[in-house]
Structure 1
Amino acid sequence: MMPQQHLNDTEDFLMNNQRSDKPEEACGVFGVYAPERTLEVAKLTYFGLYALQHRGQESAGIATLKQGRVYCHKDMGLVSQVFNEDILEQLPGEIAVGHTRYSTTGSSLKENAQPFITETRLGKLALAHNGNLVNAVELRKHLTSKETDFVTTTDSEMIALTIADEVNSGKDWIEGAISAFKLCTGAYSLTIATPDGLMGVRDRNGIRPLVIGVLRGESADGERYVLSSETCGLDIIGAEYVRDVNPGELVWITDSGLISVDWAEKGEKKLCVFEMIYFARPDSVMHDETLYSYRIRLGRQLARESFVDADLVIGVPDSGIPAAIGFSRESGLAYGEGLIKNRYVGRTFIQPTQSMREAGIRMKLNTLKDALQGKRIIIVDDSIVRGTTSKKIVKTLRDAGATEVHMRISSPPVTHPCFYGIDTDNQDQLIAATKSVKEIGERIGVDTLAYLTWEGMLEATQEDTNHFCSACFTGDYPVSIPEDVKRSKLILEETKV
C-alpha cells in the first residue's frame, strides 16, 4: 500500500510532503442503470462521484457499457480534473460505474485507477471497489496457478479476475460472481457493470457502505436504479434513497428490475464506525438520520464526559464542527468560529520551500485572532492519529492569543491499524498506541486533553452496538486477519496503553 497525501478537512495545513494526520479514507463507488438515458449515464456518474470526492482524491474513473461495448476514462487527480464535457460525451451507454480512489492496496499509479475492466466469455465487465481484501496474497497465488495475467497491483483487479475465471468456467454472471465472492475475504462494496446488467455487492459483514436509489424517468416501469457509497451521491442527481444493500447481499439490476440474492450466510453486521464519525459526509443518511445529527450527539456525550470551563467552544473545520456544536449545546458554553478554512485550496503540485514552511505558510487554516485573543478555548476534533496536525493547530491558537487551549476528541484513541480499507499507519506510528492521554496532551501542547469513551461513542449511535466495527479503537477485528498480514502493521505488543 502506497499512501497519498489526503486533502480533506483538518489535514496538514502546511502544504508540505508530510502525510496527513487523519485516517486516510476509503474509496467511493457509484453505478447507474438507465437505458433510456444513454447520453446521460456518464454525466450522472460524474456528479455522483463529485459528491463522493471526499472519499478519495487520488484518482477517478468512469466506465460505461453500450450494447456490450465498454467505454472508459480514468486518470490521476480529482473528479473535476479528470473529466470535462468532451470526455463525458465520449462515454455513451445504458450502464455506468464510477470510482474515486484512495489507494489501500496497490501503488498510487495511473494503471491502478478504477474501474478495472476485464474480458469474460459473456463479455466485458467493469468493476469499482471500496474496501480491502485481507487474503489478497492467497487470491493472487490462486489466480497465478491458473496462469492469469495481471495488469495492476490492486486487490480490486483480483476480484474482477476471479469473477471472470468463474464465469469462464461456464457459470452465468450471478453464479460466477457468488463463487468469486466466496473466495474473497475482507471488506468490499462493489459496483459491477456487465453487458446484461448492473451488480451491487457488499461483503458478508457490510464493513463498507453501499446504498440503492431510484431515478424517476420516462421508462415503462417509471424508475431506474442507482448505486452509491453514500446517500449524498443520490441527492446530487435527484435520485430517491430506497435502502442499503445488506451485508452478504448481491443486487442484480436489469430491464426486468432489481432482484436480490443473499450470496453469503448472514454474518454479523459490522459497519465501520469511522464512517459515522468522520469519513461519510455529514449530510449523508445512515440508520435513518443524517450523520450531522449523530455527530451532534457525539459532541453532547463528549461534554457530559469531559466538561471543562472555558469562554469559547470551536471546531476544527469541517469535520469537527458538528461535535463542537453538540459540545456547546450540552455544556452551555458559547460556540463560535476560531479557525477559517481556505475552501479554494485544491490539489497543488507547487510545494512551499523549507524557508516558507518555517515562516509559517498556512494554506488550509487561519485564525480569527480577535475571536481568540485572551480567551480560554475548547477545540473539538474528530480524531488524533499521529498528533502532528493537532500540535500545529494548538500552537496557532496560542499564537493568536488564546490563554488556555483544551482539546476534546469526539472518538476514542486510535490504538490499532485498520485492515479493511482505511489507511491508519502501522501501530507504532499511532500516538495513542504508545502514549497515555496525558502524554499525548503534553506532546501536542494543550492544557487538557480528553477523548470520548468507547462506551460513549457507541451509546451515541442509538443502534445495536454489536453492529459496528470499532477495531481501530479496540483491536477486536471482526474478520480474521492472516498472521503475515497482521504482523505487517501490528508490530507492538498486544497491550493497551
Structure 2
Amino acid sequence: MTEDKPREACGIFGIHGHPEASKMTYFGLYALQHRGQESAGIAVIQNDNIVSHKGMGLVSDVFDMDHLGELKGNTAIGHVRYSTTGSSILANAQPFVVHHRKKSYAVAHNGNLVNAAMLKNELEEAGSIFQTTMDSEIFLHYFVNNLKYGFDQALLYTVSRLKGAFSFVVLSGKGEMIGLKDPNGFRPLCLGKLNDSYILASESCALDLVNAEFIRELDPGEILIINSEGMRSLKSRVVSTKTFCIFEFIYFARPDSLIFDKTVYLMRKAQGRQLAREAPVDADLVMPFPDSGTYAAIGYSEESGIPFEMGMIRNHYVGRTFIQPTQSMRDFGVRIKLNPVKELLKGREIIIIEDSIIRGTTVKTRVKALRELGVKRVHMRVSGPPHRFPCHYGIDFSTRGELIAAKN
C-alpha cells in the first residue's frame, strides 16, 4: 500500500580531513537513512583521484567492511536517495563521479532543479553527453565546462544557472570538499567539526552519531569551500529571500535534528499545542498514526489535557517494498504496518493527529478500519497546513489533482 505522505529527494554527508573518512561517512548515512532508501553510495579521494562504491537498497545492504576497506582516504562524501527525478536504477545512484582533463569530481545532491530540461538541452547542444537521467548531473557538466574561468568563478556561474531547491556536497580530486545551498535555502545543510575534520550533513543527527560538534547551518546561496588550508565562503550572485521547506519541520527531518536553527522535536510539539488551541474537541484520548504525527499529538495532549495514548502499534520491520495487497485483501494492507490496541480503543471517542494529509487515500482506509473495530467516534486533526498546490522542488507530488485539500 502506498504511503500517503510526501517523499523527498535525499540525504547527503561529507567529511574532510579524517583518516577513516569512508567509515565516518557510512555512519553519517546511517543517521540519514530516513531521507532515502532506494540507493546509497560513498565517494572518496585517493591519490588525486576519486573512487566510489554505490548500490541499490539501504546503507546496510550496500556496504560491508570490505567495501569500506577499499575506500581509503581522508575526504569523502556520501548519499542516500529517494528519487524525485530520474529512475530508481543503479546508474542514477549517487555520488556521481566524472573524470575531466585528468581531474576527478564527484557530487551528491539533495533537491530538485526546476529548469533541468532546459539546461540539459542547452548542454547537449554544446556537445555534453549525459550518463544518467538525474538532474544532479547537470551541475557537474556546467561546473567542469567553466573551470577555464577559474575554480571559484565556475562554482558561482554554475549556481547562477540553477533554479530550484538544492543542497550539494562536491569533491574535487585535488582535495577540496564543497558545500552549497540554493539562494532560497530550501533544503538544510549544516557544518560540523570533529577534532581537525570538517563535516557537511543534511541534518545535525548525523553529526551527533559521529560525535561531531554542530557549528552552524549554511546560509542561503552560500558556497563553502574546505581544503587543507581551512575554509572560505563565496556568496551566490543570485539575490533571493530565505524560504525553507516547511516539510522539513513537519515530516522529513528526524525529530532529534537541529535544522534551520530549530529543534525539530520542539517544533512539532509546538504545532500540536497550537492545533489544540485552534481546533479543540472533547474526546477520551489523543493518538497518532505512528510515527507521523506522534510529537504533534504529544503537544495536542499537553495543551488540551486529554490523555495521550499509542492506540496503534507500528511494525517497524515492514519495508517499503512489501507485496502490494489485492483489492480483495485491502484490509491486510492496513494491518501489515499498523495494528490497533483493541481494548484501548473500542467504544472510545478518539482524536487522531496527523502531521500532513496529501492525497488522503491512506488515512481514509485507516479511519474506516478503526470504525469497524468499534471506535465510537473519530476526530481528525492535522498539524501541518493544507497542501493545495503541487511542489516542484524535490517532493513527489507534482499535480494539483493529486491533492485532497485542492478538492475541498
Aligned mates of 2:109, 2:405 — CA distance in 1: 30
Counterparts of 1:337-376 in structure 2, within 5 Å, are 337-348=310-321, 350-352=323-325, 355-357=328-330, 362-376=335-349
- Flag the 1:297–1:359 CA change in 2: closer, same or farther, 3 A: closer
The corresponding residue for 2:169 is 191
**Do 1:417 and 1:427's aligned partners in 2 also have CA atoms closer than 8 Å?**
yes
Give CA deviations for 1:325-361 in whole Å, capped at 9, x if unaligned.
1101111111111010112223445455555445566
Aligned mates of 2:332, 2:48 — CA distance in 1: 57
Give CA deviations for 1:146-201 in whole Å, capped at 9, x if unaligned.
2111100111011111111111xx23332212111111111110000112310000
Give CA deviations for 1:81-126 in whole Å, capped at 9, x if unaligned.
1111111111111211111111111112111111111122361100
The corresponding residue for 1:152 is 132
Aligned mates of 1:211, 1:240 — CA distance in 2: 11
Counterparts of 1:48-447 in structure 2, within 5 Å, are 48-121=28-101, 123-167=103-147, 170-195=148-173, 196-216=175-195, 223-348=196-321, 350-352=323-325, 355-357=328-330, 362-435=335-408
Aligned mates of 1:321, 1:359 — CA distance in 2: 23
In structure 1, give the amino acid aligned to 2:285: L
**Do 1:249 and 1:264's aligned partners in 2 also have CA atoms closer than 8 Å?**
no
Q: Secondary structure at the match of 2:273?
A: helix
The corresponding residue for 1:478 is none
TM-score by length of 2: 0.96
Q: Give identity over the alignment, percent.
A: 50
Give CA deviations for 1:390-425 in whole Å, capped at 9, x if unaligned.
012212222332100001000121111111111124
Q: Secondary structure at the match of 2:379?
A: strand
Q: Secondary structure at the match of 2:167?
A: strand
Q: Secondary structure at the match of 1:378?
A: strand
The corresponding residue for 1:467 is none
Aligned mates of 2:243, 2:44 — CA distance in 1: 32
In structure 2, give the amino acid aligned to 1:126: A
Spell out structure 1 runs of 4+ moving beyond 6 A: none
Q: Secondary structure at the match of 1:345?
A: coil
**Do 1:191 and 1:198's aligned partners in 2 also have CA atoms closer than 8 Å?**
yes
In structure 1, give the amino acid aligned to 2:396: D
Q: Secondary structure at the match of 1:225?
A: strand
Name stretches of at least 5 consecutive residues in structure 2 with no aligned partner.
Answer: none
- Flag the 1:361–1:338 CA change in 2: closer, same or farther, 3 A: closer
**Do 1:337 and 1:371's aligned partners in 2 also have CA atoms closer than 8 Å?**
no
Cα RMSD for the two superposed structures: 1.6
Aligned mates of 1:341, 1:357 — CA distance in 2: 18
Aligned mates of 2:290, 2:94 — CA distance in 1: 30
In structure 2, give the amino acid aligned to 1:144: E
- Flag the 1:339–1:359 CA change in 2: closer, same or farther, 3 A: closer
Q: How many residues align?
A: 407
2:16 is the alignment partner of 1:33: yes
**Do 2:287 and 2:309's aligned partners in 1 also have CA atoms closer than 8 Å?**
yes
**Do 2:160 and 2:238's aligned partners in 1 also have CA atoms closer than 8 Å?**
no
Aligned mates of 2:320, 2:69 — CA distance in 1: 25
2:5 is the alignment partner of 1:22: yes
In structure 1, give the amino acid aligned to 2:362: T
- Flag the 1:122–1:202 CA change in 2: closer, same or farther, 3 A: farther
Aligned mates of 2:260, 2:85 — CA distance in 1: 29
Aligned mates of 1:391, 1:73 — CA distance in 2: 42
Aligned mates of 1:403, 1:349 — CA distance in 2: 32
In structure 1, give the amino acid aligned to 2:7: E
Name stretches of at least 5 consecutive residues in structure 1 with no aligned partner.
Answer: 1-15, 217-222, 436-497
Aligned mates of 1:399, 1:86 — CA distance in 2: 52
**Do 1:394 and 1:405's aligned partners in 2 also have CA atoms closer than 8 Å?**
yes
